[in-house]
Structure 1
Amino acid sequence: MSSKKRYNENLSLSDVLKEFVSTNKLQEGLDKVEIKDTWKNLMGNGVNSYTTSVQLKRDTLYVQLSSSVLREELSYGKEKIIAMLNEALGKPLIKTLILK
């Protein structure tokens, strides 16, 4: 048996996963998945039934909607939507919201 202690012996599983994500540069991909789930949870069934795509590119969230009426209505509350999403995500990932 080796007398060397493993460096991660006292780390929690959470810490090990964070290190793994950081080392392998996976955070951006995880953020993209989390944003889709957050949009779905915050916006509810009414908006989700017209949402065809949610994509994060850098700090811009692109949301494709199949209803021009809904797109127009949501455009009036862009700042509030951005604030709600960032708060739910726990970090300021989104600076701009583009409704297509």
Structure 2
Amino acid sequence: MAKRHAENITIGDALKEFIGANRLEKGLDKVNAKEAWDAVMGNAISKYTTDVKLDRDTLYVQLSSSVLREELSYGKEKITRLLNEELGKDLIKKLVLR
């Protein structure tokens, strides 16, 4: 049974507690990683992105353009840093472009 608080808490704190209690953080991280990719890379690159998948600490990105994949491969470290900044935590260690 969930514990009750005698004092009032904010909705944000209640959601964080719920997420932690039900171990939903990994699933939310996967969704947040996909949203961070779209936010950081913009519409131009998102049009050529067919799939974004987070598996443990590796982000797999499927691209429909081989030219774009080659161009992005030169800046993997920078892209990883920008994505982690957008996520607010050091979640992605490796970026794989397919």
TM-score interval for Structure 1 and Structure 2 normalised by the shorter chain: over 0.9
Contact 1:8 1:16 in 2 (8 A): no
Q: What value does the CA root-mean-square deviation take over the aligned residues?
A: 1.0
Q: TM-score of the superposition, structure 1-length normalised?
A: 0.90
Larger radius of gyration: 1
Aligned residues: 95
**Identity fraction in percent:** 63
Unaligned runs of 5+ in 1: 1-5
Deviant stretches of 4+, over 3 Å: none
The answer for the alignment partner of 1:36 in structure 2 is 34
- Please give the residue correspondences for 1:1-100 in structure 2 after superposition, counting only pairs within 5 Å: 6-7=4-5, 9-100=7-98
Q: TM-score of the superposition, structure 2-length normalised?
A: 0.92
Unaligned runs of 5+ in 2: none
AA of the residue aligned to 1:23:
A
Give deviations 1:63-86, integer Å, cap 9, x for gaps: 000100000000000000000000
* Aligned-partner Cα distance in 1 for 2:54–2:91: 9
* Aligned-partner Cα distance in 2 for 1:8–1:44: 45
